[in-house]
Amino acid sequence: MFVMDTHTHTCLSPCADLDMHPAGLVAAAICAGLDAVAVCDHNSAENVAAAQRAGLAAGVAVIPGMEITSEEEVHILALLPDAEAALSLQSRIYRELPGRNDERAFGMQVVANEHAEVLGFNERLLAGATTMTVDGVVAAIHKVDGLAIAAHIDRERFGILGQLGIIPAGLPLDALEVSPRTSLSAARTAFTPRLEYPILCGSDAHEPKDVGRAATFMFLEEPTLSEMRQALKGCAGRVILGGGRPMEDLALHILDIAQNSLEAGATLVEIDLSEDVAADRLVIEVRDNGPGMEPEALARATDPFFTTRITRRVGLGLPFLAQAARAAEGKLEIDSQRGKGTRVRATFRHSHIDRAPVGDIETTLLVLLAGNPEVEIRFRHAVGERAFELDARGIDPGAPDGLSALRQTIRQGEATLSGTVGETKLH
């Protein structure tokens, strides 16, 4: 499983922070716990090769890309197989891109190397629109064997729905993207009933702090464009598990806690999510049979400057979960004994205006199950008297059919919680 931000900018984009030089972007990706980022500067790919070199040195995959503006002012992401394809597409875009940049109006467009050294400034009007139609942009991307993705379709400005009102019939897009403002579960509800495209989550980061603010979880052999292409089509066992906003959703806090348990060596993880609207209470409880925590680690578990994790960060950790609970008039409790496992319990006032949304439970469960097929993971979500239970023993999440069955069961189970069905179980 790989965590990817498929839409980031460098200092080449006129609206980007100067700290978003190629090395700065890669450093931000590491801080956000990402496996890969796609560099998608406006109408140019001049910083792609440097970002790839920075990523190679740091162990982060960098996918070449570009954010192209059509003559209708629609933003289309191009994700490309290599730097050569990116430069080929760039040549085509430059021929269709009129105007010169005004730094006072739009900002500097900095070409930099992997050592944060300025090599020069791009003088083209990268913030402008090309003379290519949406159809022409998509065709140009496909001509260099790239993926064409409609960017931030949930935004009025520069989104294809906001600009055109529709996605033109027959437009061969490979996927749609939503911005951090829309969760993947909300995007499915809003868009997939009428638009049959895969959906990605991208941050559209222009500053280091926003890298990874929205990410896509993919089940791949390696983080490459060819693997992504198969995942978008659901081929050869490669799939999009989901996506989300690690800074906001409780579901990704649940994922983070469960990942802590798995990294500690637990072979059983039990997750309970209880929403009692009548009592105005929401409770998250994660229990494991791992080795437990040392007293010093337990005492400092909610210290934001203390961690025992040596692998990537998926969520924001226990300190931020504690902060989220307190913001909603709740609290975080941790019980752990050596040799007896750990229990993490977070409570929230359900109706509190500052209570984070539950978020994408489907993604959380699929990431845990697909990435840890040897571990027993049990899940229960209750809303009042209704409940959905998932015990996936006997199902192989590594098999396409198994993962598909799990996805459908989770969707149906979560749907029962807003309906009149009683209890749903999978054993």
Residues facing residue 178 across a β-bridge:
201
Residue 423 pLDDT > 50, yes or no? no
The whole-number average pLDDT for the span 407-419 is 85
CA distance 108 to 114: 18
Share of the chain above pLDDT 90, in %: 59
So what's the pLDDT on residue 207?
96
**Cβ contact 8:229 at 8 Å:** no
Share of the chain above pLDDT 70, in %: 90
So what's the pLDDT on residue 313?
47
Using H for helix, E for strand and C for coil, what is the string for 71-86? CCCCEEEEECCCHHHH
So what's the pLDDT on residue 403?
80
The residue that leads in pLDDT, 387 or 33, is: 387
DSSP string for residues in 312-332: --SS-HHHHHHHHHHHTT-EE
- Residue 88's alpha-carbon distances to 76, 84, 109, 137, 321, in angstroms, are 17, 6, 20, 13, 46
Residue 312 pLDDT > 60, yes or no? no
Average pLDDT, the chain: 88
Listed range (97-101, 231-235, 264-268, 314-318) with the worst mean pLDDT? 314-318
Tell me the pLDDT band of 128, cut-offs 50, 70 and 90: very high
pTM check: above 0.85: no
Residue 194 pLDDT > 90, yes or no? no
Helices 48-58 and 22-31 pack at an angle, to 10 degrees, of 40
So what's the pLDDT on residue 296?
64
- Residue 319's alpha-carbon distances to 41, 170, 289, 299, 324, in angstroms, are 34, 48, 22, 12, 9
Half-sphere exposure of 227 (CA within 13 A, CB side): 17
Helices and strands in the chain: count of H runs, count of E runs = 13, 18
Q: E strands within 172-223?
A: 175-178, 199-201, 215-219
Over residues 170-188, the pLDDT tens digits come to 899 999 999 988 877 778 7
Residue 42 tokens read as 């406006």
The residue that leads in pLDDT, 247 or 189, is: 189
Q: Taking phi first (over 0 means left), then psi (-120 to 50 degrees means alpha), and beta for anything else, what does residue 21 get?
A: beta
**Cβ contact 146:173 at 8 Å:** no
Of 217, 212, 204, 223, the C-alpha closest to 243 is 217
Residue 394 pLDDT > 90, yes or no? no
The domains of the chain are located at: 2-244, 250-426
The residue that leads in pLDDT, 40 or 31, is: 40
Residue 422 pLDDT > 70, yes or no? no
So what's the pLDDT on residue 193?
56
Residue 384 tokens read as 């009042």
So what's the pLDDT on residue 404?
81
Residue 227 pLDDT > 50, yes or no? yes
CA distance 397 to 235: 15
Over residues 34-50, the pLDDT tens digits come to 999 999 999 999 999 99
Tell me the pLDDT band of 301, cut-offs 50, 70 and 90: low
The whole-number average pLDDT for the span 280-300 is 82
The residue that leads in pLDDT, 298 or 302, is: 298
> What is the CATH superfamily name and number for domain 2-244?
Metal-dependent hydrolases (3.20.20.140)
Tell me the pLDDT band of 84, cut-offs 50, 70 and 90: very high
The residue that leads in pLDDT, 312 or 277, is: 277
Residue 115 pLDDT > 80, yes or no? yes
CA distance 306 to 339: 22
The whole-number average pLDDT for the span 331-356 is 91
Quickly count: other Cβ atoms within 10 Å of residue 234's Cβ: 14
Residue 375 tokens read as 């571990």
Buried b (16+ CB within 10 A) or exposed e, 69-100: bbeebbbbbbbbbbbebbbbbbebbeebbeee
Q: Which CATH number does the domain 250-426 belong to among 3.30.565, 1.10.10, 1.10.1060, 1.10.1740?
A: 3.30.565
CA distance 267 to 261: 9
Residues 6+ apart with CB under 8 A from 310: none
**Cβ contact 47:22 at 8 Å:** yes
The whole-number average pLDDT for the span 148-164 is 94
The whole-number average pLDDT for the span 295-307 is 56
Tell me the pLDDT band of 426, cut-offs 50, 70 and 90: very low
The whole-number average pLDDT for the span 387-408 is 80
Reduced to 3 states (helix: H, G, I; strand: E, B; else coil), residue 364 is helix
